[in-house]
Chains A and B, each alone.
Chain A
Amino acid sequence: MKARIFDALRAALADRRPVALVTDLGSGLQTLVDLDGRQMGDVALEDEFLPQVLDAIRENRSGIVEFYEGRFFINVHPPANRLLIVGAVHLAQALAPAARLAGLDVTVIDPRAAFATPERFPDTVLVTDWPDEALAALRPDARTAVVALTHDPKFDDPALTAALSTDAFYVGVLGGRKNQAARLERLRGQGVSEAQLARIHGPVGLDIGAVTPAEIAISILADIILALRGAKWKA
């Protein structure tokens, strides 16, 4: 791999642009391709080959493909999935590093400056806007999970309303069953549809009987991974 292709691949990942690295397994020549069909590298791909590569990027499908006499390895590099945590609370201090370990890009949102400090959240992107404004700016997509952990409707409700209006693949909120029922009533009153309400994971997390913040963080992360991957061995 030429250094400039290596650098371009890293830049694409940093910018959250999905790309594929196409390697001609015969010659070793490589081409980096993005979703708009832009190419850079050792060689331009044949016009008829490009659509296959774009399909592979869209479907996140890496593998060897044959094109005429050649064998090519298409390695799709999707951007990292994101986790937006609303509430810079104790639980978030456990969830942020655990989620990073699982490969998620983590952003913590909390307008309360006493909570959202770099001391409490080293190496974490912190946003101190109100949750609805922060989510409008961060624009959750189908690779984004949003969890609201403040326990305070003043923060959690607008976060949920904003998250449900996006394609976020996971929307979760902390709170017991009684709180959840009251929350659903409030959101219903604000005109959130039943279909949207059904997307909410609340109580958030997989039920593993978690008690401590670290345990709850792991249960939330497990539930997010389940939403992302789907169960492998169904009971």
Chain B
Amino acid sequence: MIRDDNEAILAQAASWRDAGQSVALAHVIATWGSAPRPVGSLMAISASGAMAGSVSGGCVEGAVVMEAGKVLSDGEPRFLSFGISNEMAWEVGLACGGKLEVYVEPIQ
């Protein structure tokens, strides 16, 4: 697949599902400052931890994959906030100083 847009990310999600894997979808729902990926950006995460697309420049994807694992095990969507000034709720932050909020849901 030589494309990197939402259509291609959803196609990857579909092929994981066709292969019998459960898949979570992360949406960038809000950004502040110099967040690298705009609102509406998607990232798909398979049950085995593979990912397609991105929600940042690579800074927080690891944490999103971990949370996606929880979303897939209990079926409950989650909100994730990343940024340097959010009381260190997360140990990962954005070196660029941006902030973002991500919504992760299972495809079921």
- The 7 tightest CB contacts between A and B, nearest first, are A62-B40, A103-B5, A13-B7, A73-B29, A62-B39, A28-B77, A1-B107
A167-202 toward B: CB 8 Å interface, digit per residue (1/0)?
000000000000000000000000000000000000
Judging by beta carbons under 8 Å apart, are A1 and B105 in contact?
yes
A10→B77 contact, CB < 8 A: no
The answer to whether B27 touches A13 (Cβ under 8 A) is no
The answer to whether the Cβ of A114 comes within 8 Å of any Cβ in the partner chain is: no
Q: Are A103 and B107 in contact (CB under 8 A)?
A: no
Q: Are A6 and B13 in contact, CB atoms less than 8 angstroms apart?
A: yes
List, sorted by A's number, 6 A–B pairs whose CB atoms are closer than 8 Å: A13-B6, A25-B79, A62-B40, A97-B2, A103-B3, A103-B5
A77 close to chain B: CB less than 8 A: yes
Interface string of A47-89 (1 = CB under 8 A from B): 0000000000000001110000000010111001000000000
A31 at the interface (CB under 8 A from B): no
Number of residue pairs A-B, CB distance < 8 angstroms: 61
Residues of B within 8 A of A23 (CB): 27, 103, 105
Taking the complex as formed, is B59 at the interface, i.e. its CB lies under 8 A from any CB of chain A? no
Task: Enumerate chain B residues within 8 angstroms of A101, measured Cβ to Cβ.
Answer: 2-4
Contacting residue for B105 out of A28, A80, A100, CB 8 A: A28
Q: How far is the CA of A63 from the CA of B7 in the complex (A)?
A: 19
> In the complex the two chains form, is A1's CB within 8 Å of B106's CB?
yes
Count of chain A residues with Cβ under 8 Å from any Cβ of B? 24
A160 CA to B82 CA, complexed, in Å: 48
CA distance A75 to B4 in the complex (A): 17
* Chain A CB within 8 A of B25 CB: yes
B103 / chain A contacts, CB cutoff of 8 Å:
23, 25, 73
Q: A6-B14, A63-B40, A103-B4 are in contact. List 13 more A-B contacts (CB 8 A).
A: A1-B105, A1-B106, A2-B108, A10-B7, A10-B11, A13-B6, A13-B7, A62-B39, A62-B40, A63-B29, A63-B39, A64-B30, A103-B8
Q: Looking at the complex, which one of A6, A103, A123 makes contact with B10 (CB distance below 8 Å)? A: A6
Contacts A1-B105, A28-B105, A97-B2 given; does A75 touch B10 at CB 8 Å: no
Whether a CB of chain B sits under 8 angstroms from the CB of A3 is yes
Q: Mark A1-40, 1 if CB is under 8 A from B, else 0.
A: 1110010011001100000000101001000000000000
